[in-house]
Amino acid sequence: MGMKISVLYLGRMEFPKFRLVQWEDEEEMIKSPAVALLIQHPTLGNILYDTGNCHEHQELYTPDMLHNYPVVECISVKEALAAKGLTPDDIDQIIISHLHFDHAAGLKDFVGTKAIRNVLVSEADLKEAWFSVTTGNGGAYIRSLFDLEGIRFKTINEDTWLAEDFGLFVQKSHTPGVIGLILKTEKSGTILTTSDTIYTRDSYDQGIPPGGTINKTTDEFFDNLERVKKMEKELDAQLLFGHDFQQIQEWAAKGWIE
């Protein structure tokens, strides 16, 4: 029996589209979902990829983040796991694509569990996050979301395989190290997750770079886009993008992907 994957829809933010991708119409709005992946693996156990926002966002997020990326719907990862008959205690490992607020805020639900002692991130992103929050330039990194009691980070700085069918690849775009997944399922083929290096299908198909102030240059976006397109072809893979509202809703409705 192979792995099973479930896309967990964790609510959404709504804001002007130009804050997500380069877009001329400053009035056009976009729905940006928060998402996690629950992966049940026959040898690795229950793995969670990202953790979404948290209900305490009004108290914990910075004024800039609340203004630029307002959370209009929040389903905590704890609630999403409960819908699958699980609790945070059932998770064996957490993989965080990168430590921005809308990917790391649910970590607090795992304080006191085995998963909080087994949080995998890229070394480059962890260094960037820690440097940012301790020098007063946190941006989308918020210290209270990941500087938690009992947390233990495990880091990677290159492409890594946790099992023959479960790979991680480090992308130097959006942040200095965003972890994407290579998931080789028995029935649904290979799935690649890009996280926020490529926000949407339109960004991928049309080469639309990110917008807002998080990304300092578009060069890394185009380099990574070329790399992911090559991987897609070589692996004959399906792509799951970081903030594509329609895709996330469709994949979440599938239930378990095997």
State the pTM of this model.
0.97
User: DSSP letters of the chain?
Assistant: ---EEEEEEEEEEEEEGGGTB--S-TT-EEEEEEEEEEEEETTTEEEEE-----TTHHHHS-HHHHHHS-EEEE--HHHHHHHTT--GGG--EEE-S--SHHHHGGGGGGTTSSGGG-EEEEHHHHHHHHHHHHTT--TT--HHHHS-TT--EEEESS-EEEETTEEEEEE-SSSS-EEEEEEEETTTEEEEEEETTS-SHHHHHHT--B-TTT-S-SHHHHHHHHHHHHHHHHHTEEEEESS-HHHHHHHHHT-EE-
pLDDT per residue as tens, the chain (258 positions): 789 999 999 999 999 999 999 999 999 999 999 999 999 999 999 999 999 999 999 999 999 999 999 999 999 999 999 999 999 999 999 999 999 999 999 999 999 999 999 999 999 999 999 999 999 988 999 999 999 999 999 999 999 999 999 999 999 999 999 999 999 999 999 999 999 999 999 999 999 999 877 666 789 999 999 999 999 999 999 999 999 999 999 999 999 999
Domains in the chain, number: 1
Task: Please give the residue range of the domain that contains residue 200.
Answer: 4-257
CATH number, domain with residue 199: 3.60.15.10
